[in-house]
Structure 1
Amino acid sequence: MASEKEEQFYKRLKEELENYTTWPSRYLYKFIVPSDKEKTSEIEQIFDNTGAVINTRKSSNGKYTSVSVEVVMESADAVIDKYQEVGKVEGVISL
């Protein structure tokens, strides 16, 4: 169950996306995960069959990997659904 802070964040994000974006629209997600092939694979699977362009880059010390996902989304709700799905991956930080 989402915390109140999380609910407020997604509510504010939805308002901003609806006010400043014409849908469908290209959206860029950015995540940081521990450098573990399994973690990046989980994120890639979430965006599988969406036409997403996914780029990964390890940090200078190799401990973390940044994952950028550029994809055309249909609505603010669809953007938030993906954030919530990726949020279930252990250790992920959404930027």
Structure 2
Amino acid sequence: MSSNKKTEEFYKKLRIQLYETTSWPSEYLYKFIVPTDQKKILQIEDLFNNLGAVITTKESGKGTYTSVSVNVNMKDPDAVISKYIEVAEKVEGVISL
């Protein structure tokens, strides 16, 4: 199975889970890991700019990676997923959790 097909299947399952477990609009907590690079962290912050997001960061013990948590009110699962896709496309080396 190709990577794109796996990604599509993942988002399809996530969409169903989000609809079944949450009433929308709702707070959603995104978690990302990026190599510690202020530019990459700012890229993620910029993608959530003007959404009223609360963003926290924490560097790994060795300082190699930084976790970025974004708590934001989203209107529906499709908005959640499109933000995941946008971050993946625009921030090189990001890992979405």
The question of a shared fold, defined as TM-score above 0.5 by the shorter chain, is answered with yes
Q: What's 1:58 paired with?
A: 59
Question: 1:68 Cα deviation (Å)?
Answer: 0.2
Shift of 1:85: 0.6
Alpha-carbon distance in 2 for matches of 1:66, 1:24 = 25
Q: CA RMSD in A?
A: 0.8
Q: What is residue 38 of structure 1 aligned with on the other side?
A: 39
Q: Distance in 1 between matches of 2:34 and 2:86?
A: 14
Cα-to-partner distance string for 1:57-88 (whole Å, 9 max, x where unaligned): 10000000000000000000000010001112
Query: What whole-Å deviation, never above 9, does each CA across 1:17-49 have from its counterpart, x for those lacking one?
Result: 011110000000000000000000000000000
Specify which structure has the higher proportion of helix: 2
Give the % identical residues: 59
The Cα shift of 1:10 comes to 0.2
Cα distance in 1 for partners of 2:83, 2:33 equals 15
Matched, 1:24 2:21: no
The unaligned stretches of length 5 or more in structure 2 are: none
Secondary structure (helix, strand or coil) at the match of 1:91 reads coil
Please name the residue that 1:79 is paired with.
80
Consecutive unaligned residues of structure 1, counting only runs of 5 or more, are: none
Structure 1 runs (4+) deviating above 2 angstroms are none
